[in-house]
Every structure is written in C-alpha cells, then in structure tokens.
A and B are shown apart, each in its own frame.
Chain A
Amino acid sequence: MKNEPILQIQDLKVSFQSGKKFLPAVDGISFELREGEILGIVGESGSGKSVTSLAAMGLIPIPPGKIENGEIIFDGKDLKNISEKEWRKIRGNQISMIFQEPMTSLNPLFTIGNQLMEAIRLHTKFSKTEAIARSIELLKLVGIPRAEGILKEYPHQLSGGMRQRVMIAMAMACNPRVLIADEPTTALDVTIQAQILALMKELNQKTNTSIILITHDLGVVAEICERVIVMYAGQVVEQGDVRTILKNPQHPYTKGLLKSVPNLKEKKERLYSIPGTVPTPGSILQGCRFAARCTEVFERCRLDAPDLYNLEKDGHEVRCFLHTLKEGRDEHVGVTS
C-alpha cells in the first residue's frame, strides 16, 4: 500500500517576477509522495521548499509568481490547470497544510471553535451541532485537554504549542490524504517540538495521511521521516531513504548539513557551518549551483550542471559529479576557500 504514489511533482518550475525578469525559485524539481509515508524536504532558507509546498496547494500568488513548467499530479489528476473552484475543493479537504508560525497563523479575532468549524463545514454537510462534536473530537485527537472550553477561546489565550495543535486539528478536519507541514516545529520550544513531531507521527499511523514535512533540521527528519529530499537553490540535490542518507550522504551539501547538526558525543568549540549563502534565484548561469560553497569542487563543477544520478542503492539519487569519478580523484582542484 505504501508504494502507491498519492502526490507526484514532475519537473516543476516556479518563477517570481523581479523587475522585468522572471527568476526561478523552484527549478525543475521532481519527487513523489507515497500513500501513508512521511517525506522530509530539507534545505536552507531560499532553497525553494516553501514554494514547492505552496505550489502543491495552488497558493502561489500569481502575479508575481508563475508556474512555468511541470505537473502536479494528485491521485492521478494533474492539478496544474484546474480552476480556482476545483482547487478550493482540494485545499483543506484532500491536501491541507500547517505553517511555521503558530502564533500568527490563526486569526486573532475569531474563536478557535469558529475557525475549526469553518474548516469542517466548508467541505462537509455537517450541521452546527455535528460540527461542534467533530471539533471536540479533533481537539482531543491532537491532545488538547478541556476541548469544549478551548472552542470558545481566542488564539491569544493559548500557548504556541497549543496553537500548533489547533492548526493540526484544523488541517486534519476533513481527513486529508496529504498533510503538508511547513516547518511546523521551528518556532516552538524543544520539548514542545518533540511532542508535535510525535503527534504527527501518531496521526500518520492512525489515519494513514501522507505527510510532507518541510524543515531545515535534519534531526527532525531523522526522527520521523521515512524518505528525505535535500533541496538546494531550487533543485533536488539528493534524495533517498532516510537511513541511507544519514549514514552515507553522497552530496557535499548533505554532508555539510549533517556536520552542522550538534552532536553530544563530540566536543567541539564551534559548530560546523557551510560557508556562504544560498545563491539568489537566477544568479548562477553555469555549472553546479553548489560549486561556490563546495569543499570538494573540481573543474567540471564550474562548467557543467550535474544531473540527478541514480546510485545503486534503491531510490538513492544525487546531483553531483563526484561519484562519476571512479578513479578520477586527481581531477580535484581542491578546497575553494
């Protein structure tokens, strides 16, 4: 059952207008989400993670945004050219989303009950009493105590963790088939983070909802994801099974990300960080996009853009020339910085 893809993104290219030019924020990414799995998407700010997820919700602001190319196939149907009306039937119903900032993602002027029931009644024919019952059920599902009382409260009366639970309850209102979580734990305390992650894992197992978890934290990915996609500058640079990638990363960027996760076993003065920043969209015209920050860069990297190469291991793909050099280590130019 887990092998059936529910959501497929194929060669998606999303650009944003800046002045007169369109700059690609997401440049030809492809991946699939299988039924019932938790897929992690990892990358720094500006790597195109959020744009990808907004595209899957049909929420790219047009203009200035533009979907230039690619397909978004949900349950066998291409969503790219469907009308706004059809999108509304999918959003919050079949695919729903939770966001990074629980403090600002709920409307401050409406009660929790109002906002939850709105999500429920939008996609169902529930009466008001049924919607109230469902709201209470949802709040209990996400582990909120005294659910009846919470319905009458306003977002400012709840803590950040509670608000994120409410957001999850709202996203789960219509038993969506896909839940996209855009950095759901970034703004929360570490202990609350662990609770929210555990909750998402639990919901995934209980309801078989597929989850896309967007994060910049490989620790979070290690905790609950089955597969992971590493994004850099609008492209997928590595993807595969979580265990394979954590143990045996092939792309220098993934290696860098892993090195920058704090480790309790080693004593270090400073945490490792990858030098430099993600290039702005459209600024790299030639060669590998990571070349300028790569510690293992060599001549070819600056000339050609690498494709995604399929490694022997099942589904492990990497966008790097390194592994094509079986004995070509002598071609190395060395460290850039």
Chain B
Amino acid sequence: MEQKQETLLEIHDLSVSFRMYGEGLSQKDLQVISNLHLRIRPGEIVAVAGSSGSGKSLLASAILGILPSNATVKGHVHFRGQELTPQMQRELRGKEIALVPQSVAYLDPLMRVGRQVDGASKPRPTQQRRRLFRRLELPERTENLYPFQLSGGMARRVLVSTALLTEASLIIADEPTPGMSLEQALEALKMFREMADGGKSVLLITHDIDLAFEFADRVAVFYAGTTVEIAPVEDFRAGPEALRHPYSQALWRALPQNGFVPIDGFQPYAGSLPQGCLFAPRCPHATEQCHRQTPPIREVRGGEVRCFYGA
C-alpha cells in the first residue's frame, strides 16, 4: 500500500479491444492494447513515445473513459489508489484529469476561441486566460477568432491553454506541440514542467521525442499496443548504448539529427499480431525464443524492458 500512495496513476495489465464486423454479420475482436503497464507519480512528467498507431491515444481515451462503445477494456487503472470506475471517470475528467486532445478538430468550429476556452458559462473574458494566451504568444485578437482562422500552431496553443486553465492534478497531453515553432513548443513544455514541479503530473504523448528528452522525467516507449521500455530520461539523452530495447534504439537513430536511418518493416497490424515478441519480425537480434514466447517485462538498470536480451 505504501507504493500506491506515492503513485497518482497506476496502469496494470491493461488491454483494449474493439469489436468489429467481419464478413456479413460475423464479429471479431481486434486487440489494440495488450498487457500495458505504466505508473505516474505526483510531480512527474512521463513522456510516451512510440510508433504511430501503437495505442498511445487510445491509452488516453481509456484513462478518461471516452472510448467508443464497441471497445472492451480489461486490466486495472488506479487513480490515487482507487480503481477507476466509469462513474469516477465521469466525475474526474475535465476536473482532476484534463486532456489536451490530439486533433485540432476538437475545437468547436462555431464558437469564438476566447469563449470556448473560458467555458461557455463564463460571460466575460477571464484575466487568467488572457495571461495564459499572452504567455503562449497568442495575440489579443485571437479570442475573437473562429478556429478556422487559426494557423495549425495557434490552434495547438489554444488546446494547450484549455488544459492549463483547469485545476487538474493529471494532464494528459496528446501530441500538444506539432505545428508550433521550436520556441513556442519549448514554452508550452516549460509550462508543463512548472506544473509538474508544483506537484501535478503530466502524461506527455509525443513524437517530438527530442523535445521530450529535455523536459520529461521518464520515457515510456510503446510498440504495437504495449510498453516495450520505460527508462529514466537520462538514458535517452545518453544515446542508444544506454537504452534497453532495440526498438528504443531504432527510434533514437531515426531522428533527423542522429542519422535519419529507419529500420525496415512496419509495426504489425492489430488484426495480425505475430506470436511471441511483437517486435521480433523487425528485430536485428531476434532469436527463436523471441518468435515463440512473449517476453515478460523486467527491471533492468533502474528501468523496465520487455525483451529477453535487453540489458
């Protein structure tokens, strides 16, 4: 129980599947997240990196309880030591747990930006919101614009501001920085860092992993719907030798500043996951055991890795 108290959010063995129609009326379950583990402590930024379609955004939806109705969730999510039930999720979201959504299409296209960030119940523009807009370099007139009049980067900053205005103790930021200039992205991340230093927690889902390396405490790497490595951020700054999983190493090497070299192959599709280790078909070190057995998650050098050989 000791450990539960210093953990804000604990995800244990989480699986998410979708019920889909196949031929005619036959249905099948498509598993998109499997055996996922993650723990977030108060005051911590955990960056979630990984391939597109590895279930990062679905994890956010699963925590908030906003998955579509054909989804089935198994496993455990604890918030402040309590099992997160659908009713709790309804009460907590937007208050205790806030989301910065991935798509700028989440903005109401028919409402002026200032009004939708303030909240429809507030009749006047709030000072707090105006201060935040200034800090995010959104010009004063932005509040009177409609979403279609914003540039991509401006719309992102508006989305970020909605979450920063809440009193939430956990912010789930799903790709908050694309379209922002480097300076603006750094400013937004700095604000998340300040919130974390003030005791709040941030789950930062991002592809700008080089930026995440500057601000996060730990990095969780997702592949094909599961966690393959969770490592202290220093290991990612240090480079591939300090990393435990071959996929994390491949991510590092594909960065434009580190070689721009992609590994061959593609992430397996949810309907046709390979047996054994999900990364084995693309792994340069895969052995026969990897193709047969799913590796368990192991603790290695202060991090966790789902690989038989990660060291």
Judge: A and B partners, yes or no.
Answer: no
Taking beta carbons and an 8 Å cutoff, which residues of A are in contact with B? Answer: none
Taking beta carbons and an 8 Å cutoff, which residues of B are in contact with A? Answer: none
